[in-house]
Homo-oligomer: A and B are copies of this chain.
Amino acid sequence: MAQKNAKTARKNKIIESALKIFAEKGFQDATISEISKAAGVSDATVYEYFNTKEELLFTIPEEITEEPVRDMEKIIPFLRGTECKLRAIVQGYMTIYEKNPDYASLVMLQLKTNRNFLKTKAYEKIRSIARMLLDCIVEGIENGSFKKDADPYLVRSMILGTIEHLCIRWQLLGTPSNLIEHVDPLIDIILEGIRLKQQPKNISIHLQLGDDSTARINDPDEGSVS
């Protein structure tokens, strides 16, 4: 038992060191030797826990996303309202990165562009967030909150793409200095962009006072009602 804990602690220390060094130097430029030194173990010990350098890389997101993704999956069903959910997901997602800049760097600069990462369990976990997001958007379309002709995949790509773009800038250029504060403006624009308006904006009332008096109200978007 103590053994097991010691092992787990050792493994976590390696993962932690790897995250730090991968984030700092990039996957290619980081060396196992460096990581093992930072973790206080030998090179060979790293290979006791991970079969290859790449496996070590891929284990990092698995460990890190485990909990927040599970949390989010638990919480989302309890939220009422599509927009509210959307905000919650994006907020949750960005928070993971903002609270862990090394991890943000790793994901954005090392993992997102790694073809092998796509075959990974860790990728699956991350995808589940993306799936929640999509479900949420689809829900909004179906329940009439969002425009019927909105492409949920595009909307999702807009949200994720923006987050990623902000993250990368934040990592490489240091600007913006804060991610979370962009959640609301981002979602606001998206929602405004896809929300279905009860658009009786231009109402023309034709009053014909007479025999066959009729009041016609035209909402051009919905077709005219006679």
Nearest B residue (CB) for A190: B193
Q: Does A226 contact B (CB under 8 A)?
A: no
Q: Kindly provide the distance from the CB of A186 to the nearest chain B CB, expressed in whole angstroms.
A: 6
So how many copies of this chain end up in the complex? 4
**Nearest-Cβ distance from residue A191 to partner chain B, whole angstroms:** 8
Q: Is A70 close to B, CB under 8 A?
A: no
Number of interface residues of A (CB under 8 A): 58
* Residues of chain A having any CB pair with chain B under 8 Å: 26, 28, 108-110, 112-113, 115, 118, 150-151, 153-155, 157-158, 160-166, 168-169, 172-173, 176, 182, 185-186, 188-194, 197-210, 213-217, 219
Please name 27 pairs of A and B residues whose Cβ atoms are closer than 8 Å in the assembled complex, sorted by A.
A109-B113, A112-B168, A153-B176, A154-B182, A154-B189, A155-B189, A158-B158, A158-B161, A158-B162, A158-B165, A160-B161, A161-B161, A161-B162, A161-B163, A161-B166, A165-B165, A189-B190, A191-B193, A192-B192, A192-B194, A199-B201, A200-B202, A200-B204, A203-B217, A205-B205, A206-B214, A209-B213
